[in-house]
Structure 1
Amino acid sequence: MDQFFSLLIGYAFGCFLTADVVCRRLVGKPVFQVGVGNPGMANVGHELGTKAAVLVLAGDIAKTLAAWLVARALFPANAAVCGLAATTGATIGHNFPAWHRFRGGKGVTTTCSAIILAAPALGIASAVVGLVVVLLSGYLCVGAEAITLTFLLACCVAYGPTSAYAAYALVLAALMLWAHWSALVAAAHGTQPRASISVKFWKRLRHGR
């Protein structure tokens, strides 16, 4: 029951879409009417600039951290797992907010925050792997999925495949796959735009040579 309530707590925090608040304050309209309509840092940054993107990033990290802290405070006997349950709930809330007909963001920031809070070394290593995959593949969606798959594998090795850590890592991987499925299909067909960070990386690498 501790984990169930932690999931609910996380979900409540996750439903707060920072990107929507930022867009309403800066341009007077919901984020769903800005750019591609995705309530995430990338869309807001592309349309409104770096400062707006930083605000969204900070807010999404903050709500995930808040969920983690509250769950750990309420259930100290099972703090580690309840914290991970809460941050997983925050990602579910971010991706499927009840107040917007369960249509939300893709949960990359909340997921990275969740895995780093749960297991700092494994989480950071997984995020780095994801970044490298983005640079090499050219696709944000591929890198995002690489983050959760790497963390899932790491949890299976470190804690065991039947552990609570592995179970929540599997949920996070499934959420990431669901959120990026259309982009992954497009990438496989060569119709998905390449990430600007990868394009710039390869240009600099070629110029360096």
Structure 2
Amino acid sequence: MIELGLKFTAAYLLGSVLGALVMGRFRGGVDIRTFGSRNPGATNALRAQGFPFAAGVMFIDVAKGILPVALLPALDIPGVGIDPLVSRDLIRYSVAAAAILGHVYPLWHGFRGGKGGATAIGVLFVVAPSIALPAVVLWLAVIAITHYVGLATVSVAVAAPVYFGFTALPEEFGLFIFSAWVAAIITYTHRENLQRILAGTEHRANLLRLRR
């Protein structure tokens, strides 16, 4: 369990590094939490600072999901080793959850983080690479049709456990449970977006105007 605890902590701390604030340091200390929706995610970064800045934010936040899940489960920690009593799947999904939680509730930034979508996509590229690209396509399609980024993110998050429920059970029960947890936390972090959509006050995105 020491191995699990250390790797969970490492993934959480990495997840706590917000791409928006890292990019802000390269732009004279810009903190996009003082702009627009005050959310340190790629969508608000795009509105506040333009496409190149937002692309950098997206790259960092996606990488935070990829790197710990790809590297930590098999890492042999000196003095700790690989615990034979802990399954690699448990470590993989625990590390993945930690990276997302770090992004949403970052230790380094007063627990004021993003909504977890980009980091969750990064995780998906490792735990279920066969559906990562279709997930991105679905995300873009929902934005193109509705112009709501938040709705697109929630749609992908909710679609994942439905898909795994039909295709991965009972063999990949852990993947199904993890994807259901991701769907729950993504829906929770986007609850205000969903409320604004219902009220007709949510900001609409236009994929054809991603320039500046």
TM-score (norm 2): 0.82
2:39 — aligned with what? 38
Counterpart in the other structure of 2:141: 132
**Contact (CA 8 Å) 2:154, 2:187: kept in 1 or not?**
yes
CA distance in structure 1 between the aligned counterparts of 2:90 and 2:134, rounded to whole angstroms: 20
Q: 1:157 matched to which residue of 2?
A: 166
In structure 2, how many angstroms separate the alpha carbons of the residues matched to 1:123 and 1:150?
12
Q: Aligned partner of 2:119: which letter?
A: T
**What is the correspondence of 1:18-37 to structure 2 with a 5 Å cutoff?**
18-37=19-38
- Could you say if the C-alpha distance between residues 155 and 82 of structure 1 is closer, same or farther in structure 2, counting changes exceeding 3 Å? farther
| Equivalent residues of 1:15, 1:90 under 8 A apart | yes
- Alignment partner, residue 181 of structure 1: 191
Aligned equivalents of 2:178 and 2:49: distance in 1? 34
Structure 1 residues not aligned, in runs of 5+: 202-209
- Report the residue type matching 2:202 in the other structure: Q
Q: CA deviation at 1:109?
A: 0.8
Q: Sequence identity of aligned pairs in percent?
A: 25
2:103 counterpart of 1:94 = yes
Which stretch of structure 1 is more off in the superposition, 105-114 or 120-129? Answer: 120-129
Compute the displacement of 1:117 (Å): 1.4
Whether 1:11 aligns to 2:12 is yes
Shift of 1:113: 1.1
Q: Distance in 2 between matches of 1:30 and 1:76?
A: 41
Contact 1:95 1:102 in 2 (8 A): yes
Supply the AA of the counterpart residue of 1:148. Answer: A
2:205 corresponds, among 187, 195, 201, to 195
Structure with higher helix content: 1
Kept after mapping to 1: 8 A contact 2:103/2:114:
yes
Cα drift, residue 185 of structure 1: 1.0
> How many correspondences in the alignment?
199
- Note the C-alpha offset of 1:163: 1.0
Q: CA RMSD in A?
A: 2.4
Q: CA deviation at 1:6?
A: 4.2
Map of 1:104 onto structure 2:
113
1:16 Cα deviation (Å)? 0.6
Supply the AA of the counterpart residue of 2:185. L
TM-score by length of 1: 0.83
Partner of 1:66: 67
